[in-house]
């Protein structure tokens, strides 16, 4: 019996849906992550990150994130094509950037990663993951969603822009041991002021 059949799906249809991740999804989440990074981010991420990937460590890290989240506001969702895991999103309470003041409208939920394996792209899985994460954030009292994107990642920027997100003016530089990576923060409001598709 498929264990997901008795678990409520957060969104979707019989053929495409989103649900909370199970511990047994961890290996597939790690595989999707590295396959996607090696396919889509080969020119953006340091070679060492991609070539020295440890599948066992990544799987254990995802299993831990699923079974022992740091706070009740953290979670991992997976996108399904029928019963096949094809993508995932991880989210949690956002940390304030240096010098940033809390949003008076309410807390912010941050997407730490949202990935759909390239061969399953353009079927709405990313949008369903984004909508499900937004619904859970609203249910948890969040007023805003945010995500950090590599400045050079125009594909992801286009995806978020099409969902009504926009850069919020914050940027940071990551020290990867090689060429520094610059990230830009994107955000969307939740609730009545939210762009279509985010709640």
Which of residues 5 and 159 earns the better pLDDT score? 159
Percent of residues, the chain, with pLDDT higher than 90:
63
Highest mean pLDDT range out of 93-97, 148-152, 159-163, 195-199?
159-163
Q: List, edge to edge, every strand of the sheet that includes 75-81.
A: 11-12, 16-20, 75-81, 84-93, 108-116, 144-150, 181-189, 166-174
Give CA–CA dist 85/93, Å, rounded. 25
* Average pLDDT value over all residues in the chain: 87
- The pTM is what? 0.86
Per DSSP, the three-state class of 104 is coil
Give the model confidence (pLDDT) of 15-55 as tens digits: 899 999 999 999 999 999 999 888 877 776 666 666 677 88
The first and second tokens of residue 62, run together, are 């995802």
pLDDT exceeds 60 at position 9: no
In terms of DSSP bridges, do strands 84-93 and 108-116 run parallel, antiparallel, or are they unpaired? antiparallel
Whether CATH 3.40.630.30 fits 11-21+73-193 = yes
Question: How far is C-alpha 111 from the chain's CA centre?
Answer: 5
From residue 153, alpha-carbon distances to 37, 61, 96, 106, 185 in Å are 12, 25, 23, 29, 12
Q: Cα–Cα–Cα angle for 13, 19, 20, nearest 5°?
A: 175
Give CA–CA dist 155/160, Å, rounded. 9
């Amino acid at each position: 019996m498929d264990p997901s059949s008795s678990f409520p799906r957060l969104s979707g249809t019989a053929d495409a849906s989103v649900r909370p991740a199970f511990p047994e999804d961890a290996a597939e989440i790690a595989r999707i992550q590295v396959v996607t990074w090696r396919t889509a981010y080969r020119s953006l991420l340091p070679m060492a990150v991609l070539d020295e990937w440890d599948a066992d460590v990544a799987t254990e890290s995802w299993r831990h994130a699923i079974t022992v989240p740091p706070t009740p506001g953290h979670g991992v969702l997976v996108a399904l094509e029928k019963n096949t895991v094809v993508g995932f999103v991880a989210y949690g309470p956002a940390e304030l950037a240096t010098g940033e003041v809390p949003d008076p409208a309410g807390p912010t939920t941050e997407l730490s990663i949202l990935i759909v394996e390239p061969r399953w792209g353009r079927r709405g899985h990313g949008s369903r993951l984004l909508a499900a994460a937004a619904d859970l954030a609203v249910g948890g009292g969040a007023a805003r969603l945010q995500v950090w994107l590599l400045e050079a990642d125009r594909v992801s920027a286009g995806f978020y822009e099409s969902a009504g997100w926009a850069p919020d003016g914050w940027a940071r530089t990551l020290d990867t041991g090689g060429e520094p990576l610059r990230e830009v923060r994107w955000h969307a409001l939740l609730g009545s002021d939210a762009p279509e598709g985010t709640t």
